[in-house]
Amino acid sequence: MEIEIDHVAMPVGDIERTVEFYVRVLGAKPIDLEKWRAGKWPIVSISFGRQKFNLHPPDNTITLKAAAPHIGGGDYCFVWPGSAASAIEHLKRNNVAIVEGPVPRIGGRGRGTSVYFRDPDGNLLEFISYEPSAG
């Protein structure tokens, strides 16, 4: 039996701003955005393939949540499907400042090369590339 991550709950300061950023920069797909906008759903989710982030707004009414949710306190790594150089080009095209990288790292799949940046709430994000030339 192998356990995988299904979803992550992420407190955010502004749902619209967060969705725009993750769709534009990470290619996420919004789930339930229109229901949330209409006041019919308490959260919005964004998906990355088979995984998703549930975005919890500051006025989150969900009772089952982390003991001390904190906006901007996350650190999330995403597998970039190309080279670290192409990740850097992508971030620059999207006017996203690079915090660090490229740097060698060991991720869930082994050795890779990572580039770090932040989302609008200050969460640390990482693109790791597992291309054969990486690390």
Report which of 78, 73, 74 is spatially closest to residue 27, judged by C-alpha positions: 78
Tell me which of 4, 89, 100, 126 is the catalytic residue: 126
CATH fold of the domain at 75-129 = 2,3-Dihydroxybiphenyl 1,2-Dioxygenase; domain 1 (3.10.180)
Statement: residue 133 has pLDDT above 80: no
What are the extents of the domains in the chain?
Answer: 7-56, 75-129
pLDDT of residue 135: 46
**pLDDT digits over 10-63, tens only?**
999 999 999 999 999 999 999 999 999 998 888 899 999 889 999 998 888 777
CATH topology match: 7-56 vs 75-129: yes
Whether 100 is catalytic = no
pLDDT of residue 134: 46
Overall pTM > 0.75:
yes
From the options 3.40.250.10, 1.10.3730.10, 1.10.1040.10, 3.10.180.10, give the CATH code of 7-56: 3.10.180.10
